[in-house]
Structure 1
């Protein structure tokens, strides 16, 4: 099993079918909260969660990304993943969500930092992108806190139930990340 320890309370684990029920319960419990920014929430069922996990296990086997469960004090708190690795251009994107009760603990920032380190230093990618809905300030705070560059906005990038939302694109290059890690007080 693929697993990464963030600290004594938090770790990332490759999503496997054995986590489907726990992941479903979290997404169902926080359905109203998650629905504000995630377009898939209304279609969530245990079968859809299993299909999501199987799809992502295949992507992992094909070396085209990974989806990880975020575990806080041994309970699943959310998900984070690398999506659609473009090996020719050495880039990927990160997507994430966190249950409501786990907000404000610094979990997602730490999880993103670990995954960015992995993308740059293990996979040897050159670019990591994070997109967030323009008015989703909690999601935008993660790349902003990690000093990603705001590279602009894509208008009407996503259909969210009954309206389109714009996405802000945040980008980080390996050379900038490495400089930032060597000189964290310079930023």
Structure 2
């Protein structure tokens, strides 16, 4: 099992089926907050939907093409983060993340993204890490910016959010840049 302690209060743990209830409750309790930027909330309406997400996550992990973790803060599930995709041909990992509404503003996600980036370069031997965020999602964009990721550009109408498209900013970090960072 994958588990990584970031500091005394914060750790990442490979998502498991037994996390279904805590992840669903966090999702449900933060639904309106998360719905602003995440397109899957309307399709996650019962615990079984979360269970199916976890099954898919575990399959991706077993096939070495993704890694989804539960973020634990002081022992409590507060969000999800990981590599939505690992492209081994191009040696690139794509980080995705979300935090429950009451847990923002504590530096949790910046520490998590830093840890995942370290892991991608130091443990997996990858060359690049990308983070994408909607142009208007200032909180999400602040994370790669704090970590000195390079703004590589904008993809127009990259994602459909319920009733409109949003543009995405792509942030990238190369292994050689990270080591000198």
**TM-score (normalizing by structure 1):** 0.95
Match of residue 163 from structure 1: 164
Superposition deviation, residue 126 in structure 1 = 0.1
Tell me the distance in 2 between the aligned counterparts of 1:26 and 1:83: 19
Matched, 1:60 2:61: yes
Match of residue 30 from structure 1: 30
Match of residue 183 from structure 1: none
Matched, 1:12 2:17: no
Matched, 1:108 2:99: no
**TM-score (normalizing by structure 2):** 0.98
Aligned length: 180
Within-5 A mapping of 1:57-136: 57-136=58-137
Superposition deviation, residue 42 in structure 1 = 1.4
Superposition deviation, residue 65 in structure 1 = 1.2
Match of residue 184 from structure 1: none
Tell me the distance in 1 between the aligned counterparts of 2:104 and 2:90: 34
Within-5 A mapping of 1:145-184: 145-180=146-181
Structure 1 unaligned blocks of 5 or more:
181-187
Worse-superposed segment, 126-135 or 40-49: 40-49
**Secondary structure, aligned partner of 1:32:** helix
Within-5 A mapping of 1:33-44: 33-44=33-44
CA-atom RMSD in angstroms: 0.6
Tell me the distance in 2 between the aligned counterparts of 1:73 and 1:92: 27
Tell me the distance in 1 between the aligned counterparts of 2:11 and 2:102: 17
Following TM superposition, the consecutive aligned residue runs of length 4 or more in structure 1 with deviations greater than 6 angstroms are none
